[in-house]
A and B are shown apart, each in its own frame.
Chain A
Amino acid sequence: MSVASASLDHAGRPDRAINAGALRADARRESRGLLALLSPGLLLVFAVIIVPIGWLFWLSLFDETGQLSASNYARFFEQASYIKTFVTTFKVAFTVTGACVLFGYPLAYMLSQLPRRAAGACLIFVILPFWTSVLVRTYAWLVILQRKGLVNTWLIDLGVIGQPLPLANNFAAVVIGMTHIMLPFLVLPLYASMKSIDTDCLRAGMNLGASPTATFRQIFLPLSLPGLASGVVIVFVLCLGFFVTPALMGGGKVIMWAMRMEQATSLYSNWGAGAALGVVLLAATLALLGLFHWLLGTRATGVWSER
């Protein structure tokens, strides 16, 4: 830096060339330094993420006799249930993400508008379920939703319905249970992004004669989109690998990809069968992240929220 500041005193052309060279060297030194600082992290990522994924891919290429083969992948096309599972997995993920946006956006909006103290208190109710085991929450939903559960008992006692509604052990139950679990993952980034919206922008909009609706639609909503996008990506990706809730609440009729992985590792005597399922899910997830990235820009897949 001292070189740069010294050369600034002379504004001559040759000096600037020298200066640029010094700056470049400086930048190179700095990036080397940063790389050195990052290297423990990079090494860790390489050891615990890149290597195991590579290994997973390697395993998926061998059949039960240990021969190199594509049979683990061919199975997905030969057996109808795999395609069905794949479709179900994405159907569940889309529906749950949609439900989370539907419930999460107004909730985050309300939280962002409340006074700090009240918002803090309300946030506890959003975060509290985070601290409760997924298994406990799933069973709690069963108690509420099943044929002789709270909802059906109340509705029948009130005379609203004559026959119990089929709320448990089906697709709807899985969506309800997973939405509850996923909601904080959407609300938290969204809330952070909404809190960072400069209220002066909104005031300026109203000052210029925009109605509250127009202010919301044209200023608040676009500014909150990065937070929404990152929340959506987090929820969607987590949904794709979900196991406990569909296993317990789907009544064996909603089979998701992770459940097939568990099944495959015990049914087949080689790890390849389960590994191939893992590779396919990973590839699908990455492809989808790429799509999000392309549609929504770096804001969605990059940072948590942006000022």
Chain B
Amino acid sequence: MTKRLCIHGLAIAGLLATVAVPASAADTITVASWGGTYQEAQTKAFFDPAAKELGITIKQDTTNGLDDVRLQVTGNAVKWDITELGADECARGSKEGLFEKLDYNIIDKSGINPKLVHDDWVGISYTSVVLIYRTDVFGDKGPKTWADFWNVEKFPGRRALSGSQSTETLSVAALAKGIPIDKVYPVDIDGALQSVDKIRGHIDAWWTSGAQAMQLVKDGEVDMASIWNGRAGTLKKEGAPVSFSFDQGVLTADCMVIPKGSKNKDIAMKALAKFVSPDLQANLPLYVDNGPANEKAFETGKIPPDRIKDINSSPENVKKQVLQDPEFWRDTLVEATEKFNNLIQQ
């Protein structure tokens, strides 16, 4: 999933603190997430309220993703009690046996899509891949569907797609072929690759990070792009002339796990139960554009009705989008990504 800057200093500080106060160590857990505004929102939505309710201390760290967890678990140096990952990473890590089993007597899974509820990982939030276009170029008659994006005659202009997130680009490539949203998964990889082959000559940049996608659109380097909805929302708030919608978006989930060998897994289980509870899940969209994974969050009444329509995982918006299947990519990611790289580098 996403690569974000890791602040190792925090990890060391956290470690030192734990060593210094062994008496309270049992009541302290460390949670790692992606950092940045997303983690700040999670702090306010999940971590602080959960710590208060449970009477524990939650220390934080940032992660680069599955390689970090693998390094800690295989190196017998687990320093996190809970960590966030992309759902496809959770599915792969689960296959590798990197996580502790979750106890669904403690964690209430109702309201969470069953595709995101597993023995050793559970969904926590959603990001959407959406089509964004510049309104100073197209007015409000820009490309609305991926088929439009692929239509270079009707919509001339510069284009960017993700080069690093092959799963997302292959999903939108399948949509561009006219496949209905409920038929995209399981993805016909060869068909999707043919679709990418058609557009690749017209792609001016294959972005490799969310910040880069944002910069390309913001500076007018490209006129249309695939982008994560959080980044798209930020652009709009900053006043950039852009438009996007959740139509034909690709919903990708993030998940949380307890790395195998966590020393505080019992407390971590209770904290995780809080994080996915409708009450705390409903806090998340108040601070950030990533939607809650638990749909019961929308029934709590905490989210203002005019905000609900902008949240990617609201029941209305979910219907317009494809849910990326983590287990499909668990088994096909490597082969599909290598083929995808061969294609876009030709």
Separation of A149 and B220 alpha carbons in the complex (Å): 9
Q: Does B208 contact A (CB under 8 A)?
A: yes
Which residues of chain B from 67 to 118 have any CB-CB distance to chain A below 8 Å in the complex? Answer: 67, 70, 92, 96
Which B residues are in CB contact (< 8 Å) with A169?
204-205, 216, 221
Instruction: Give chain A nearest CB distance to B227 CB in angstroms.
Output: 14
B147-165 interface code vs A (CB 8 A; 1 in, 0 out): 0000000000010100110
Which residues of chain A from 242 to 270 have any CB-CB distance to chain B below 8 Å in the complex? Answer: 247-248, 251-253, 255, 263, 265-269
B345-A147 in contact (CB<8A):
no
Which residues of chain A from 76 to 91 have any CB-CB distance to chain B below 8 Å in the complex? Answer: 79-81, 84-85
B203-235 interface code vs A (CB 8 A; 1 in, 0 out): 011111000100110011100000000000000
Chain B: interface residue total (CB-CB under 8 A)? 31
B70-A147 in contact (CB<8A):
no
B334-A146 in contact (CB<8A):
no
Which B residues are in CB contact (< 8 Å) with A61?
none
Separation of A146 and B220 alpha carbons in the complex (Å): 9
Partner of A252, one of B96, B208, B333, B346: B208
Which residues of chain A from 110 to 157 have any CB-CB distance to chain B below 8 Å in the complex? Answer: 142-143, 146-149
Q: Does B338 contact A (CB under 8 A)?
A: yes
B345-A85 in contact (CB<8A):
yes
Contact A84 to B334, CB < 8 A, known contacts A147-B220, A248-B212: no
Separation of A272 and B344 alpha carbons in the complex (Å): 24
A81-B345 in contact (CB<8A):
yes
Which A residues are in CB contact (< 8 Å) with B216?
169
Q: Does B337 contact A (CB under 8 A)?
A: yes
A253, closest chain B residue (CB): B206
Partner of B334, one of A143, A255, A267: A267
Residue in A80, A248, A252 with the greatest tally of chain B CB atoms within 10 Å: A252
Separation of A75 and B206 alpha carbons in the complex (Å): 23
Which A residues are in CB contact (< 8 Å) with B96?
269
Which A residues are in CB contact (< 8 Å) with B346?
80, 84
Separation of A265 and B67 alpha carbons in the complex (Å): 7
Q: Does A168 contact B (CB under 8 A)?
A: yes
Separation of A253 and B216 alpha carbons in the complex (Å): 15
A147-B221 in contact (CB<8A):
yes
Chain A: interface residue total (CB-CB under 8 A)? 27
Separation of A84 and B207 alpha carbons in the complex (Å): 19
Separation of A75 and B342 alpha carbons in the complex (Å): 12
Q: Does B300 contact A (CB under 8 A)?
A: no
Separation of A166 and B205 alpha carbons in the complex (Å): 11
Instruction: Give chain B nearest CB distance to A172 CB in angstroms.
Output: 13
Which A residues are in CB contact (< 8 Å) with B35?
none
A149, closest chain B residue (CB): B219
Which B residues are in CB contact (< 8 Å) with A80?
342, 345-346
B92-A269 in contact (CB<8A):
yes
Contact A148 to B221, CB < 8 A, known contacts A80-B342, A142-B215, A265-B67: yes
Instruction: Give chain A nearest CB distance to B204 CB in angstroms.
Output: 6
Instruction: Give chain B nearest CB distance to A78 CB in angstroms.
Output: 8
A255-B345 in contact (CB<8A):
yes
Q: Does B341 contact A (CB under 8 A)?
A: yes
Separation of A206 and B158 alpha carbons in the complex (Å): 59
Which A residues are in CB contact (< 8 Å) with B337?
267
B205-A148 in contact (CB<8A):
no
Which B residues are in CB contact (< 8 Å) with A85?
345
A78, closest chain B residue (CB): B338
A75, closest chain B residue (CB): B338
Q: Does B66 contact A (CB under 8 A)?
A: yes
Instruction: Give chain B nearest CB distance to A141 CB in angstroms.
Output: 13
B163, closest chain A residue (CB): A252
Contact A252 to B207, CB < 8 A, known contacts A79-B341, A84-B345, A146-B219: yes
Which B residues are in CB contact (< 8 Å) with A267?
333-334, 337
Separation of A121 and B36 alpha carbons in the complex (Å): 41
Q: Does B65 contact A (CB under 8 A)?
A: yes
17 A-B pairs with CB atoms under 8 Å apart are A75-B338, A79-B341, A79-B342, A80-B346, A84-B346, A142-B219, A147-B219, A148-B219, A168-B221, A251-B206, A252-B164, A255-B345, A263-B164, A266-B65, A266-B66, A267-B333, A269-B92
Task: Give 8 closest A-B pairs by Cβ, nearest first.
Answer: A252-B206, A252-B163, A251-B205, A81-B341, A81-B342, A169-B205, A148-B220, A81-B345
Residues in A lying within 8 Å of B, measured CB to CB: 75, 79-81, 84-85, 142-143, 146-149, 166, 168-169, 247-248, 251-253, 255, 263, 265-269
Q: A84-B345, A147-B220, A253-B345 provided; 9 other pairs, C-beta below 8 A?
A: A79-B338, A80-B342, A81-B342, A168-B221, A169-B221, A252-B208, A255-B341, A255-B345, A269-B92
